[in-house]
Amino acid sequence: MPNRRVHITALAIAAIALSLGGIGLATASSRTKHVVATRFAASLERKVLTTTKGLSLYSLSIERHGKLACTQTCLYTWHPLLIGAGAKPLGPVKLGTIKRSDGGGTQVTYHGMPLYTFSGDSAPGQTNGNGVTDVGHWHVATVPKSG
């Protein structure tokens, strides 16, 4: 019966290898996540970036080159658009990520600008945070007419 044990062991190893291969495929596909959409904002007469649930996305004028200014109490009003570590954000435009220096995770960026939702927007299509000034100027992330 030694040959039978070898055969069963070989089958078990093959089954484990196939299941691990499947896990590898699932992990690879979960490394991308659709997190951004676009919507026409009538109040701005422009196409804007939104979450997949339709909430407008904003950027802060002074957050450039990886330096975050919206930290601590700012985060009660402005909520970073986060994605899992190592994941690649997908959407209708080219997106990137930045690791938050405050330990808050990995934040999605557009043209290098970190993206946030505004606590004053409660429904899709609202742009109540556009033009707000606190630590800088907040603006809805707009999409070029050709984009």
Tell me the domain boundaries of the chain.
1-30, 33-140
Answer whether residue 61 shows pLDDT above 70: yes
Note the pLDDT tens digit of each residue in 8-50: 444 344 333 333 333 333 333 458 889 999 999 988 899 999 9
Q: What is the pLDDT of residue 42?
A: 87
Residue given tokens 């220096």 in the structure block? 101
Q: What is the pLDDT of residue 28?
A: 39
What is the pTM (predicted TM-score) of this model?
Answer: 0.77
Give me the residues paired with residue 98 across strands: 107
Q: Which residues of 84-101 are buried (b: 16+ CB within 10 A; e: fewer)?
A: eeebebbbeeebebbebe
- Strands 138-140 and 116-118, sheet pairing: unpaired
Q: Can you tell me the distance from the alpha carbon of 28 to that of 40, in angstroms, rounded to the nearest whole number? A: 33
Q: Residue type at 33?
A: K
Note the pLDDT tens digit of each residue in 62-100: 998 888 999 999 999 999 999 998 899 999 999 999 999
